[in-house]
Each structure stands twice: as C-alpha cells, then as structure tokens.
C-alpha cells in the first residue's frame, strides 16, 4: 500500500460504510501557499503591540480554501483558562461579518462568539464598551472577520461606519485584524485608504496544472483510503479533475471524495476516468447556469 500515508492504513480494515465516513470527513492538505499564509498569521500572532498594528486581507473565490485556512489557525489558538490566575484567555476571536454593515450586530457577534451575556437592546455605545473591555481582559491578539465582503451590501455611509469600527478596535486594543473574503473584499477595505494601507493582501488564486497542483493530488491520494493506487497525477486524470473543479480546491476535494465513494461502492477501489465520468457532480459554472434558467 505504498500509495497511502501510514496514518490511513488502518482505515482499510473498516467496514465499507465506516471507510466512506472517513472519506467524507474534512482532511487537511498542507500545500505551500497555505503554509505561507499560516506563517503570516503566526507572525501577526507574535507581533508586539504597536500604535499601528499590521493586518491581513485573505482573498479568494468561494470554495477555494479561505475558511479552512483560518479555521486551522483558530483551532491552534483556542480559548483557555490560564492556570496561574484562572483567567479566561481568548488569544484569537473568530466571527463572521454581519450580512450587511451593522455596528451593533457586529459587536453582538463578537460577544456571542465568546459566550458573553449582553442585552440585545443595549445602546451601540454600551456594546462597544463591553466588547473592548472583554477583549482587553481576554488578551485577544487577533480578531478574524470572515465574509468581510458583506459590508458591500450596505450604503456608502454604513460601509464607512463599519470600516471605522474595525479601525477603532485595532487602534484601541492594539490588536491585529485578519479580514477574509472574496476579491471584492479588497475594494471594500480600500474604500478607506488609511485602513487599506494597513492590510497586506494575501490572495488564494485558482489552481493551475503545474507541479504544485500535482503535489496536491499526490497528497490527496495518500489520504484517501482506497486499496488500489489511482495515480491521480496521470495527465488525463489530473487535467480532468482540475477542469471539473474549475481550479478551486474545495471543488477538487468534493470531486475526489465523490469519486472515492463510488470507487468503494463499485468495488473498483481506485479512481480512474470511468469513475470520474460517473460521479454525481456539477461544476460551479454549470450550477449557476442551471439556476439562471429557473423561472422563479
């Protein structure tokens, strides 16, 4: 079983249904771009408090690995109770931007993420004070704001207010901000030039047919518990998977999981062109075309 990583060899002895569950579970593939971004996040985490804290803007298309990355970083720095003084510490706080730029809902999401009681009818100023005191007490170093492009759903005035809130929290707490979103997030952040200058863009581009992509496929094959080698880096298979998934790692992962499940249920135990042609999968652009045709 040279095609498999030693960590998944025991899965081969599982029942078919159990092996399928293992395949469907999340799997981490540490490709080089992901490692580079995690290194940048670690640098932010270890950065001393300064008057002008550096920030990061992680950009990429939907289903291209952004949320997986920040979740992996967040899970390395989960809240804990410090032994020496019994204080609850939350070094990294992870929230989603509200569906539209709403200062009060943003503060509420931070308090909710930390399980801090608050009154929903409190004034904005009171919630802001509570958030600042809580994050100070919990010694928060990084605030991650996912789906930051949501702020574009508001008026220009509301966008400016929301951006000022982010800037204020960073200045007041000397805390790094990691904003995560689609490429439109760049325009959202840079609507405030002063704030935009503080955010280093960190793009996650689509995958291309190159050595890095082939290494990604090798890593996937090593983690998928099939009894036979699939040789995913074979040119026709590699190209087909890339084309089907339109260069997005989330889509590539979905394709391989569906193909692996079919390989087990069909007793073929390997992914080949025939398996790829028969999986129940529709590409992102084809899904969009289907929806566009629907007469609501």
pLDDT one-digit tens code per residue, 252-273:
999 999 999 999 999 999 999 9
Q: Which two tokens mark 232?
A: 């995913």
Model pLDDT, residue 296:
61
Q: What is the pLDDT of residues 189-242, one digit of tens each?
A: 888 888 888 899 999 999 999 999 999 999 999 999 999 999 999 999 999 999
Per-residue pLDDT for 285 more than 90?
Answer: no
In whole angstroms, how large is the CA radius of gyration of the chain?
22
Q: What percent of the chain has pLDDT over 70?
A: 99
Burial class (CB in 10 A: 0-12, 13-18, 19+), 185: buried
The architecture CATH gives domain 32-204: 3-Layer(aba) Sandwich (3.40)
Q: What is the pLDDT of residues 173-203, one digit of tens each?
A: 999 999 999 988 888 888 888 888 889 999 9
Q: What percent of the chain has pLDDT over 90?
A: 82
Q: Which two tokens mark 252?
A: 């590539």
Model pLDDT, residue 120:
85
Q: What is the pLDDT of residues 4-30, one digit of tens each?
A: 999 999 999 999 999 999 999 988 898
pTM, two decimal places: 0.91
d(Cα 146, Cα 157) in Å, to the nearest integer?
Answer: 21
List the domain boundaries for the chain: 6-27+207-284, 32-204
């Amino acid at each position: 079983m040279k095609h498999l990583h030693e960590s998944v060899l025991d899965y081969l002895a599982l029942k078919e249904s159990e092996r399928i569950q293992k395949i469907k579970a999340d799997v981490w593939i540490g490709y080089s771009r992901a490692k580079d971004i995690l290194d940048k996040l670690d640098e932010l985490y270890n950065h001393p408090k300064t008057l002008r804290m550096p920030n990061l803007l992680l950009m990429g298309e939907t289903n291209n690995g952004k949320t997986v990355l920040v979740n992996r970083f967040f899970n390395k720095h989960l809240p804990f109770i410090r032994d020496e003084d019994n204080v609850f510490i939350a070094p990294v706080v992870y929230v989603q931007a509200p569906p539209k730029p709403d200062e009060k809902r943003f503060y509420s999401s931070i308090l909710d993420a930390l399980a801090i009681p608050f009154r929903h009818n409190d004034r904005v100023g009171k919630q802001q004070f509570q958030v600042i005191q809580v994050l100070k007490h919990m010694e928060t170093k990084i605030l991650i704001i996912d789906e930051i492009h949501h702020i574009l759903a508001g008026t220009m005035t509301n966008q400016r207010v929301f951006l000022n809130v982010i800037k204020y929290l960073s200045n007041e707490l000397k805390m790094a901000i990691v904003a995560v979103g689609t490429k439109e997030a760049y325009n959202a952040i840079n609507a405030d030039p002063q704030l935009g200058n503080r955010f280093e863009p960190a793009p996650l581009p689509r995958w291309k047919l190159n050595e890095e992509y082939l290494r990604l496929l090798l890593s996937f094959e090593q983690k998928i518990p099939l009894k036979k080698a699939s040789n995913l880096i074979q040119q026709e298979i590699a190209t087909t998977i890339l084309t089907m998934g339109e260069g997005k790692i989330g889509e590539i992962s979905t394709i391989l999981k569906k193909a692996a499940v079919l390989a087990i249920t069909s007793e073929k135990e390997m992914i080949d062109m025939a398996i790829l042609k028969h999986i129940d999968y529709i590409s992102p652009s084809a899904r969009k075309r289907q929806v566009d045709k629907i007469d609501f």
